[in-house]
Chains A and B, each alone.
Chain A
Amino acid sequence: MTDIAIVAYQQTDAVSDAGAVNEVELIIPVLGRVFEQAGLTNSQDVDFVCSGSCDYLQGAAFAFVLGVDALGAVPPIKESHVEMDAAWALYESILKIRMGHAESALVYGFGKSSPGELPIVLSQQLDPYYLAPQWIDAISLAALQARQMLDQGLVSERDMAEVVARSRNNALNNPHAQLAGEVSVDDVLAEDTYVSPLRKADCCPVSDGASAMIIATVEKAEEWGKPYAVISGIDHRIETHNLGMRDLTDSLSTRQAAEGAGMGQGRVDVAELYAPFSHQEIILTRALGLGEETSINPSGGVLAGNMMMASGLSRVGEVFDRIVSGEAERGIAHATSGPCLQHNLVTVLEKA
């Protein structure tokens, strides 16, 4: 199978409100930087482009088409889009390359969630007959999951607060983080509940932002002469939309995706997990069987900034950065979509 290399990765800061920037203005600086990192000019220099975004976030129909204005798509380019996190745009791009239809690709994701009420917007991705008409928000669903964990003694509030405190402290080293600080477990526990049993700190913030990545066959990456990391596996699995039929205290789909991606074939130095809620990081860590040797969410993870539709790709980018810098030799990136970790994607990265 064709080996695929990540050659460049860039992202914006995660900010609570990007203010007066439209889609193009949000994306274009990141694309400029990622092309520069790869030694390229614009999307004419890659064989394929795939993006991830969701028009419902900002309430602008076909916002993803407007995003194409950032690409330099004259003459016409091969372009595709997923109404999902850009981690799935990465998946599509990898398929495209493995099928021999392209040797290189630009992958990007962007989200401007600040114009709407994100937890309510997300309620409309649920089952349209039984759940969406009830307008149950994403935070409340996560709280139902957290309560099951707590009731069954699978986590304590202190365990959850430890995840938050580690995220905030790790994020001090992440220049793009929205929430960072020297926060202690007791600081978190001193907070009142928000949507009980969750505290606000257990929940990721709402963030605007974008991220972009350039991938290529290893041969192409060698030709470009830039440092790269190799994607040795990628897989994704989804569980039923019926939350009552899922074991919300585990993540079977994450475990299966990790097996499919070949995670177990080596040591995992670093894991970037897309856990929008603190208890979900614990579910994921256990589902993946990660232990002491793995550094989990050294970037702070999405509790430090959750750029909807871009943060899944950012998880891959964070692991890429650490491998290229020599900080890690092998790592995994996880992305999620849907309520309570319904749909999960795992990417395994290795040093070249």
Chain B
Amino acid sequence: MSQPEVLQQSFELGFTYTRSVGPVVGRFLTELRNRNIVGIKASDGRVVVPPMEYDPDTAEELSEFVEVGQEGEIVSFAWVKEPREAHPMDRPFAWAMIRLDGADVPMIHCVAANAESDVATGARVKAVWADETIGFITDIRCFELA
């Protein structure tokens, strides 16, 4: 039996999720809306940004929030030459692990830069806020070189 002509149809699958964030993520997002960044102290005293509810090593419930800086240092980065449609930027940019001042654990966010050669491990970056902050991770629109 011959293979029939392939029939295809593009479609978009949408999941219109709303999520309850709980007190820890909620606190972080509330602070973001106010253009502050907070982390939380892990069992061993390391400051984790964004904050986690429980320590991954000890399972201890965490509660001590710490305000951290809006600048930090690139711990690692990936240069995206051809942004994907879903990506937050439509021109080349970097994803980076960024250790904010006052934090011990790096967070992942995007970094706007003109060229890959402008970005480096150890480079200083600062948060750029969205025009309107709503309490969402993208209230930090991106980081840029400080």
- Assess A/B contact in the complex (Cβ within 8 A): yes
Point out residues on A near B: beta carbons under 8 Å: 19-20, 59, 117, 119-120, 123, 128-131, 133-137, 139-141, 143-145, 147-148, 151, 193-198, 239-240, 242-245
Decide yes or no whether B101 CB sits under 8 A from chain A: no
Interface string of B105-146 (1 = CB under 8 A from A): 111111000001000010000000000000011100000000
Residue in contact with A148 in the complex, picked from B6, B50, B76, CB distance below 8 Å: B76
Q: Whole-angstrom distance from the CB of A140 to the nearest CB of chain B?
A: 4
B25 with A129: CB separation less than 8 A: yes
Q: Whole-angstrom distance from the CB of A243 to the nearest CB of chain B?
A: 6
**How many positions in chain B have a CB within 8 Å of any CB in the partner chain?**
40
Decide yes or no whether B1 CB sits under 8 A from chain A: no
**What residues of chain B lie closer than 8 Å to A140, measured between beta carbons?**
78, 80, 95
Residue in contact with B121 in the complex, picked from A117, A137, A145, A151, CB distance below 8 Å: A151
Residue in contact with B84 in the complex, picked from A59, A117, A194, CB distance below 8 Å: A117
Complex: chain A residue closest to B13, CB-CB:
A59
B107 with A130: CB separation less than 8 A: yes
A243 with B97: CB separation less than 8 A: yes
Q: Whole-angstrom distance from the CB of B17 to the nearest CB of chain A?
A: 8
**What residues of chain B lie closer than 8 Å to A196, measured between beta carbons?**
78-79, 81, 116
Q: Whole-angstrom distance from the CB of B144 to the nearest CB of chain A?
A: 16
Residue in contact with A242 in the complex, picked from B52, B78, B80, B84, CB distance below 8 Å: B52
A134 with B109: CB separation less than 8 A: yes
**What residues of chain A lie closer than 8 Å to B38, measured between beta carbons?**
none
Complex: chain B residue closest to A61, CB-CB:
B13
Q: List 8 A-B contacts (CB under 8 A).
A: A123-B86, A129-B25, A135-B86, A143-B95, A144-B97, A194-B81, A243-B108, A244-B48
Docked pose: A325 CA to B1 CA in angstroms: 35
Decide yes or no whether B87 CB sits under 8 A from chain A: yes
**What residues of chain A lie closer than 8 Å to B86, measured between beta carbons?**
117, 120, 123, 135, 137
Q: Whole-angstrom distance from the CB of A32 to the nearest CB of chain B?
A: 16
**What residues of chain A lie closer than 8 Å to B95, measured between beta carbons?**
136, 140-141, 143-144
Tell me whether A195 and B56 are in contact in the complex, defined as CB-CB below 8 angstroms, given that A133-B138, A134-B108, A243-B97 are known contacts.
Answer: no
**What residues of chain B lie closer than 8 Å to A145, measured between beta carbons?**
76
B137 with A144: CB separation less than 8 A: no
Complex: chain B residue closest to A120, CB-CB:
B86
Q: Whole-angstrom distance from the CB of B73 to the nearest CB of chain A?
A: 13
Known: A128-B17, A244-B97. 9 other contacts (CB 8 A): A20-B6, A59-B13, A117-B84, A137-B86, A144-B108, A196-B79, A196-B81, A244-B106, A245-B56
B107 with A244: CB separation less than 8 A: yes
Tell me whether A143 and B87 are in contact in the complex, defined as CB-CB below 8 angstroms, given that A244-B48, A244-B97 are known contacts.
Answer: no
B11 with A147: CB separation less than 8 A: no
Q: Which of B4, B11, B80, B136 has the most CB of A within 10 A?
A: B80
Residue in contact with B56 in the complex, picked from A59, A129, A198, A240, CB distance below 8 Å: A240
B19 with A129: CB separation less than 8 A: yes
Q: Whole-angstrom distance from the CB of A59 to the nearest CB of chain B?
A: 5
Residue in contact with B21 in the complex, picked from A129, A141, A143, A245, CB distance below 8 Å: A129
Q: Whole-angstrom distance from the CB of B131 to the nearest CB of chain A?
A: 18
Docked pose: A193 CA to B19 CA in angstroms: 37
Decide yes or no whether B23 CB sits under 8 A from chain A: no
Docked pose: A141 CA to B96 CA in angstroms: 9
**What residues of chain B lie closer than 8 Å to A135, measured between beta carbons?**
84, 86-88
Complex: chain B residue closest to A117, CB-CB:
B84
A134 with B138: CB separation less than 8 A: yes
Docked pose: A197 CA to B137 CA in angstroms: 26
Decide yes or no whether B16 CB sits under 8 A from chain A: no
Docked pose: A45 CA to B116 CA in angstroms: 58
A244 with B105: CB separation less than 8 A: yes
Docked pose: A20 CA to B2 CA in angstroms: 12
